[in-house]
Amino acid sequence: MSDFFRAHQAVGMTIPTYFIESTAPNNVDDTVVVPPVLPPELEPIDSDLAVRQIAAALANVPNPNLVVMVHGFNNPEPDVLRMYAAAARAIEADAAIRCRQGLVCVGYRWPSEKMGQPIHGTWDALPTLPTWILYLGAALAVVPLLLFCLGFFWSPWIGHIVSIAGLVLAGLVLAAALLRTIVYFRDTYRATNYGAPDLVQIIRAIDGEIVRQRGDGGGKNDVQLSFIGHSMGGFVVTNTIRVLSDVFLRQVQGLSDYGAHAPAPPSPNIGNVFCLRRFVLASPDIPAETLLSNRGNFLASSLARFDEAYLFSNEGDEVLRQISTLANYFVFPTKSRNYGFRLGNVEILSSNFGLIDVNEDNFLRTLRIGNLTLQQIYDTLEDARTSRHANAEPARAQILLPKVFTYFDCTDYVDLANDGGPARPLLTFAKWVKRTDPNAKLSWYSHLHLLYAYLFHHQRPNVHGGYFEGLLSQQLIYRLACLGYEDTVAAYGSDAAMWQTCEAKQIRVLPSPRLAARRLAR
């Protein structure tokens, strides 16, 4: 049994379904490992045996397809176990997926923790310098009051200034402690240094085992590899693809043949047996500017390898809009608050629901992130780029990358939830009538109301994870990842039926030009 991974198998499922988790601890000095309490759908299995069983289910079947699901930040082990058990139930309940031959589903957990969980070690982990600053700040804040009580009278202005200085110093340290307890930076570290490398190892182990089981016929890239990434899980997946891929082009014409600007699309083949097919992102915690960056960013180098890409988002995702942007304020290189919004906040500017069909020239004008449309972001970034480089050529690749995605705007999504009860808004309060005007947006007090409801009202609505609670949204996510676009349309009966289903639940859909071309060709 591996010391680095722990595995569980879903029982009673038609589709082989596994849950593999990294055993990397939340803290490097943790000494106690508490065994997880498993939902009834899961039972433990040796991790090496799980790899062999996964490989056996993929090695010698027609159309083999491995779908890997990766969770986001602020997800401790019990929450992830419940999430993946619910995913297994949803996939098993879907006849269109259940009858798919050669499909294997794997849920992957990297070490994440719940907001507030690190508070117990906050003081012990505080470095020496901020500890001294905190002591000094507390002393400066209290000393004027003590002197006054002891009868030492001095200028009230001096006392006020000294007290304010002390409060500021103490506040700086307390703010740093608060940022630690929201776990965003800690999860980012673990996602980068544990999450992606451990997922790379899992994919490599399955790849090698398939080759061993196939024998001489192992070296053909015919196993479809698809991913579902939620929140920071999208960042984990894109970094995993980056590591698994060969970063060296066979023929490099110059230094500018780099990332999204490469002269030819990179190969979708990964390792000895895998071929990248579908990438589904739900509320991805990835900067929107990566869609428009012409440099070798992690999203561009990953997206170009997939045959299909889908993005589920909503305007009211306050976890990304408020918490993530606050945390990234310290690290994201920008001079304006108009930049740094996350892809999970992409919205489609239309008062209609269902299929939003627009001219390709207006594609970027129909998508807004934060305060600006993608077209506005592109224009300002392009102006900045040409100002820096007098002889700069037009950035053709920047325009193409956002058009890889098919967008599902779930801002006003209303549906039945997993917990039963009547249909209700799942990601926002669904009271906003969106318009085509790029200046029309949710009010600041609506955003505060959503944030309050998420933090203090049992995540009702669940602005960040509601996609996996609604019957239609999770059905779309799992079908698109497991079946692909063509078979998903067939499961609904037709294109029109699929869009009408989205319209009835108040989901807006903007198909990528590539997907639109497929629709017209059929």
* Chosen domain end from 181, 197, 224: 181
Look up tokens 């480089």; give the residue.
Answer: 389
Domain shared by 357 and 460, yes or no: yes
What separation in angstroms does the CA of 63 have from each of 102, 221, 222, 223?
A: 6, 11, 7, 7
Q: Quick one: pLDDT at residue 259? A: 55
Domain shared by 111 and 153, yes or no: no
Asked if 118 and 176 count as a contact pair (C-beta separation under 8 A), the reply is no
Conformation bin of residue 117: beta by default, left when phi > 0, alpha when psi is -120 to 50: alpha
Instruction: Name the band, by pLDDT with cuts 50, 70 and 90, for residue 395.
Output: low
Q: Quick one: pLDDT at residue 113? A: 92
Domain shared by 64 and 107, yes or no: yes
Q: pLDDT tens digits, residue range 315-336? A: 999 999 988 888 888 888 788 8
Instruction: Name the band, by pLDDT with cuts 50, 70 and 90, for residue 86.
Output: very high
Mean pLDDT lowest among 202-211, 360-369, 431-440, 501-510: 431-440
Return the structure tokens found at 452.
């309050």
Mean pLDDT lowest among 221-225, 257-261, 400-404, 467-471: 257-261
Q: Which residues contact 96 (CB under 8 A, 6 or more apart)?
A: 479, 483, 487, 488, 490, 491
Give the total number of structural domains in the chain: 2
Q: Quick one: pLDDT at residue 148? A: 66
* Chosen domain end from 181, 202, 220: 181
Residue 456, SS3 per DSSP: helix
Domain shared by 102 and 133, yes or no: no
Strands 308-313 and 274-282: parallel
Residue 107, SS3 per DSSP: strand
Domain shared by 89 and 149, yes or no: no
Domain shared by 124 and 227, yes or no: no
Q: Per-residue pLDDT averaged across 145-159, rounded?
A: 67
Phi/psi at 147 (nearest 5 deg)? -60, -40
Domain span at residue 478 reads: 5-115+184-389+398-521
Q: Quick one: pLDDT at residue 298? A: 62
- pTM comes to 0.90
Domain shared by 231 and 321, yes or no: yes
Instruction: Name the band, by pLDDT with cuts 50, 70 and 90, for residue 249.
Output: very low
Domain shared by 212 and 125, yes or no: no
Q: pLDDT tens digits, residue range 178-236? A: 889 889 999 999 999 999 999 999 999 999 999 999 887 666 889 999 999 999 999 99
Domain shared by 443 and 459, yes or no: yes
Domain shared by 237 and 272, yes or no: yes
Q: Quick one: pLDDT at residue 254? A: 59
* Chosen domain end from 128, 149, 181: 181
Could you tell me which residues are beta bridge partners of residue 17? 105
Domain shared by 339 and 402, yes or no: yes
Domain shared by 169 and 189, yes or no: no
